[in-house]
Amino acid sequence: MDSIRYSDLHPVLQGKRLIAFDLDGTLIDSVPDLAAAVACALRELDLPEPSESDVRDWVGNGAPVLVERALAWALQAAPDPALQRRGYDAFMTYYGAAPSVLTTLYPGVQPALQALHKQGMTLVLITNKPERFIEPLLKHFELLDYFTLWVGGDSLAEKKPSALPLLHAAQTSQIPPSECVMVGDSRHDIAAGKAAGFTTVALPYGYNHGEPIEDSHPDLVLSSLTELLMTVPHATRTA
């Protein structure tokens, strides 16, 4: 029977030593759990609940912005600061209680991370999700051991599309930006990567506010994380 094994890195990774990955929309599809938490928060405030497809277009800028967009949708107006705080606190409570019930890992993520790790690449996670949720999610999906560092949206003074989280990861890892790659699904990932001097790789299946990721002009667009690795067929035959 024919089978597939990973043999080498994609040419875009030649000369690179660090790969930074986004989380939501890149490694995991977290929208179902995010949408459930948003719905519970708005229900608590006696406001209409958005659909999962609505929430899918709001994800990407961190929890405070997600809640602000949900409230603005429900009110058809910008929420006042007090309501924003109540909504945010409610969302964090509901999401914190169940961050991985409906969330799924995208196909190819685990084998790709495992293979890249075995190839000696330094893997870091840079997300706009609050830091408190990162480790539990990585543990749940058995990805924790692949990453040497993770940075959340509230870990530093700025988050993506700022270059700061990426430059922090490069400096902490003692690897120059020219030897780093940013892999993500949104314009914020690509903008942050370009600003930091990283090579940028985009995936088209995540959350990008309904816009084609190609419009952000990444260095490379791949359909799956497994395409970061070259594969060769090898046949197993019996006499």
Burial status of residue 211 (CB atoms within 10 A of its CB: 0-12, 13-18, 19 or more)? exposed
CA distance 45 to 63: 17
**Whether 145 is catalytic:** no
Maximum CA extent, the chain: 75
In the set 22, 24, 29, 189, the catalytic residue is 22
Would residue 91 be called left, alpha or beta, if left means φ above 0 and alpha means ψ between -120 and 50 degrees?
alpha
Alpha helix (H) residue ranges in the chain: 31-44, 52-58, 63-75, 81-97, 109-118, 134-140, 164-173, 187-196
CA distance 179 to 197: 9
| Active site amino acids | 22
